[in-house]
Chains A and B, each alone.
Chain A
């Protein structure tokens, strides 16, 4: 199995924001299996609650900051099939959306966390989300309510190509 991560490190978000987004490639190709997602906050030490969701979104996709997936196995000679891009199109990924796009979001996994403790989603194997090649939607890590403050946010997803 080949694993990669998409990381948004200490970013300032626009408000209700997609922190990380990945869209499987056109078929036939690899499928995307989400192994882990996380978020944390470092701008201050004030206790506060923050909603977070893993969502699927159809086109139009968010406008993102391009991010090249990082290998989790340094000896892996190959880069991910997923490439960094700002458009959120099939086969691409990005972080920290500046615009959410008009595509409908469907909540796949909603949660709330205390910003001092951060949030970690580690599905057991039967719970893995596997988004197939050729899917009409991508997967996003999304703040459905605007964080306050908007700076100091970290988050990301680890995925496997299966």
Chain B
């Protein structure tokens, strides 16, 4: 069961408008901004990144849950504890370690 997302992995933007670009905000996020505590990151391609509501419990024994990584309101298939924007790259951190977005997937 997904949590707030449809079967195709897209979240309802009417329910969660912060998962898409809003209004006049066309900036690129500053370096070293991290989600959380920030709500979202806008990268140099204009894509908006945030954490979704689906989670896994791989690290639950140490009190750390991972949430799905969402790009422009759609699940990427990855889970992470944090998303960080650094040196123009989107980086996620989780139980699989540090992974970097290469424009198509996290490696």
**What is the interface of chain A, defined by CB distance below 8 A to chain B?**
3, 5, 7, 9-10, 36, 38-45, 70, 72-73, 75, 111, 113-114, 116-122, 124-126, 152, 154, 158
A sample of 10 more A-B contacts (CB under 8 A), given A10-B23, A152-B23, is A9-B17, A36-B53, A40-B18, A40-B22, A44-B23, A75-B1, A117-B39, A118-B39, A120-B35, A120-B38
Could you tell me how many residues of chain B have their Cβ less than 8 Å away from some Cβ of chain A? 32
- Is B26 part of the contact surface with A, judged by Cβ < 8 Å? yes
Q: Contact at B18–A38, with CB atoms within 8 Å?
A: yes
Chain B positions within 8 Å of A7 at CB level: 15-16
How distant is the Cα of A43 from the Cα of B3 in the complex, in angstroms?
A: 29
Query: What residue of chain A has the Cβ atom nearest to residue B7's Cβ?
Result: A74
**Which applies to chain B's interface (DSSP): helix, strand, loop or mixed?**
loop
Chain B residues contacting A3 (CB-CB under 8 Å) are: 3-4, 53
The interface of chain B, by Cβ under 8 A from chain A, is: 1, 3-4, 14-18, 22-27, 29-30, 33, 35-41, 50-51, 53, 60, 63-65, 67
Are A158 and B24 neighbours in the complex by a CB distance under 8 Å? no
Q: Name the residue of chain A whose CB is nearest to the CB of B85.
A: A117
Are B51 and A10 within 8 A (Cβ)?
A: no
Q: Looking across the interface, which residue of chain B has its beta carbon closest to that of A119?
A: B39
